Structure 1
Amino acid sequence: MKKYLLSTWLKISGIVAASAIGYENNQLLLVSDNSNALYHYFIENDSLATYSLDAQTAVHQMPKSEKYDLEAFTIVDNSWYAFGSGSKENRTNGFMFNKFSKFSTPIDLTGLYDEMKSFSELTTADFNIEAVVTYKEDWLFLNRGNGPKNANYIFVVQGKNLTDEYNIYYFEFDLPKVNNVQTGFSGGTVINNTLYFTATAEDKKSTYEDGAIQGSIFGAIDLKKMQLLFTEKISDINKFEGITVLEHNKKEVVFALCEDADDAKNKEAIVYKLQVSLKRKIK
C-alpha cells in the first residue's frame, strides 16, 4: 500500500457500539453487538431509522449474557444480512432483512457453526465470527483469532443455503501483532477478486471478554490464491470492527470504517473514512 488517510467522517447518535457496516445508495447500514436492531442511516438528511430484527422491541443495550452479539453484516441483492458471532451458544442467530418489505427472517446458524468448529477442530474458545462477505457464489465467514490459538480463519461456505445444504472448507492466515498483541479479523469487504479487511488487537485472549484496545490494521487478501497481499497499521487506539467501500477506481479506494470503543456509556457511533492509494491495481 502506498499511502492512506484516516479521518473522522460522521457521528451518528443512537447507536451504542457499531460492530459492522454496509453502504449503498448514499445510505449506511450498521449493526451493533449490543443490540437486536438494524440501523439505517440516511447520509443526505442525517436521519436514522431503526428496525428490530427479532420482532421484539428494539433494544440498544442488551445484557451481555443475552445479546446476539451481531458482529457481521453484508448485502446480497435485496436483502441485508446480520450474523451472530457464535462465540457462545446463544450467539448463533442470523437475520435476513428484506430492504423493501422491512421484514426480518431469522436464520439458525447453530448447525453451520458447529460444522465449522468440527471441521477446523476449533473449540468455542477459539470461535468468533466477526465478518461475513460474499465472493462469486460463495459465503466467506471471517473468524477472529483472539482466542488461545489465534485462529484467523476464513471459512468458505458453498451450497444452496446456510442451514442444511452446504460444503465448508477454510484457510488460515498469519496476521501481524500490534504493540506486541496479536491482531484478529474484525471486518471485511470485497472488490472484484480482493478481500480488504480490518483486524484489531485486544490485550486479552478471549472471544467473550473485552481486553485493552491496542489498535487496528488494514490489509488485503487475493481471493483467487487465498494469499495475504499486505497489512498496514492504521491506528494504535481504535478498535475498527467494520469496513465497507464508498467509492473506488483502479488504484484508489475510499472505505468507511466503524468502531466499537467498548464503552457502554457511549451513545453515538463514529464512522471514519479511510482513503487508500494502492501500489497495485484492483483486480
Structure 2
Amino acid sequence: MLSLTESLPLHPLATLRLSAASALVCRGEQFWVLADDALTLQRYDLAGAWQAELQLLPGELPTDSQQRKAQKPDFEALLHLPDGRLLALGSGSTAARCRACLVSGEQVQVINLQPLYQVLGAHFQALNIEGALVYQDQLLLAQRGNGRGRENALVCLELTAVLADLVCGQLTAVGLQQIVPLVLPELDGVALSLTDLALSPGGVLYFSAAAEDTDSSYHDGACLGSVLGRLDQQWAINQLLRLQPVVKIEGLAFQAEGRLLLVADADDPNVAASLFSLDLPAG
C-alpha cells in the first residue's frame, strides 16, 4: 500500500453560499456545485464569486437538522455529459435518495435511479454513490465505503446504454460492465473512503477520499483528513497524497489549464463550505 507521508497544501480561494458542498464540475470560466442537503445547483466563477442558482426539485426542505437529513435527496455526485448537460445523482444510501436530475440549460428532468441502485444495493452492503464522471466510453460511479463492509469501488457503466436510459427517464443496470474494488489505507487509524472523481485535462483519473470516523453511510462522524489519489489505466492506485489542512474534501474538478478545484463539507449547517485550489506536482 502506498505511503501517506507526503502531503500537499490546499490554497483557500473562497467561501461558498452553501454549507454541505458535495460535488463540483468546471467548464470554461465557471463551475457548478451541489450541496447534499439542498435542492439547488449553484454556479460560480473560477474565483468563487456566486453567479446563479437553479432549483433542481420543487418545494423546500425542513430547517430542523434531523428532519432535513431524512428528507433530503442527498445529491452527492455531479458530472458533465458529452453533450454538455449536467447530471446530479443521489447517493442511494436510503430509498429517498434514489433520484437524479438531468439539467439542460434551465430545464430539469427528474431521473429514476431505483432500477440501477436496486442492483447495486444487492452487491454492496451499504450503497453510497458519491462521485461520477464520463471516462472514455464509460460512466464511472464512485461507491464510498464508509458504511458496513468498507466497500470502496468503481462502478463502470457503458455510456451509450446510460444515454439511452436517460431518454427514458431512468438509469438501469443494462449497461453495467464491471465493479472494481478499491482498497484504501487508514489515515491516523481511520479508514479512508471515496468522496469524488475527477479527470485531468491529460486524461488521468484522480479521486478524493476522506477519513471519517463512522461506520454508517447515513450518520456523519469526525473527519481526520482527506487524500488525493491517482489511478492508472488498470485501476491501480499509483499515487496517494495527504491534503492539508484537515478538511473533508467532497468534490473536485479540473480547470482547463490543469489546476484542481476542491470543495470541503464541514458537516455543520452553520459553517459555509470552503473552496480550495491545488497545483499538482509534475509526475
Question: CA separation in 1, counterparts of 2:109 and 2:42?
Answer: 16
Partner of 1:82: 88
**260, 269, 281: which is aligned to 1:264?**
269
TM-score (norm 2): 0.87
SS in 1 for 2:279: strand
Render the CA deviation track for 1:7-65: whole Å, top value 9, x for unaligned.
Answer: 101222x2122110111121110000000110111347933311111244588987100
Please state how far the C-alpha of 1:258 moved relative to its aligned partner. Answer: 0.3
Partner of 2:168: none
Partner of 1:176: 185
Q: Which runs of 5+ in 1 are unaligned?
A: none
1:255 has 2:257 as partner? no
Letter in 2 for 1:141: L
Partner of 1:30: 33
**227, 237, 251: which is aligned to 1:228?**
237
CA contact (8 A) 2:250 2:264 kept: yes
Question: CA separation in 2, counterparts of 1:45 and 1:173?
Answer: 32
SS in 2 for 1:241: strand
1:27-176 alignment runs, 5 A limit: 27-43=30-46, 46-56=49-59, 63-76=68-81, 77-99=83-105, 102-118=106-122, 121-123=123-125, 126-158=126-158, 159-161=160-162, 162=165, 163-164=171-172, 165-176=174-185
**210, 229, 245: which is aligned to 1:219?**
229
Question: CA separation in 1, counterparts of 2:91 and 2:12?
Answer: 27
Letter in 1 for 2:108: S
User: Does 89-98 or 152-161 show the bigger shift?
Assistant: 152-161
Q: Which runs of 5+ in 2 are unaligned?
A: 166-170
1:197 has 2:207 as partner? yes
Question: CA separation in 1, counterparts of 2:277 and 2:28?
Answer: 17
Please state how far the C-alpha of 1:247 moved relative to its aligned partner. Answer: 4.0
The 1:157/1:59 distance shift into structure 2, 3 A limit, reads: farther
Q: CA RMSD in A?
A: 2.2
Question: CA separation in 2, counterparts of 1:45 and 1:239?
Answer: 18
Question: CA separation in 1, counterparts of 2:79 and 2:118?
Answer: 21
Please state how far the C-alpha of 1:190 moved relative to its aligned partner. Answer: 1.3
Question: CA separation in 2, counterparts of 1:46 and 1:40?
Answer: 9
CA contact (8 A) 1:37 1:59 kept: no
Give % identity. Answer: 25
Letter in 2 for 1:79: R
CA contact (8 A) 2:19 2:266 kept: no
The count of corresponding residues between Structure 1 and Structure 2 is 266
Letter in 1 for 2:89: F
CA contact (8 A) 1:5 1:276 kept: no
SS in 1 for 2:68: coil
Render the CA deviation track for 1:68-121: whole Å, top value 9, x for unaligned.
Answer: 01110111122111100000010011011013xx10011110110111233xx3
Please state how far the C-alpha of 1:200 moved relative to its aligned partner. Answer: 0.3
1:277 has 2:278 as partner? no
Render the CA deviation track for 1:197-254: whole Å, top value 9, x for unaligned.
Answer: 11001111110000011100001111x3121111111136200000000244xxxx42
1:208 has 2:208 as partner? no
CA contact (8 A) 1:247 1:255 kept: no
Letter in 1 for 2:26: Y
Q: Which has the higher strand share?
A: 1
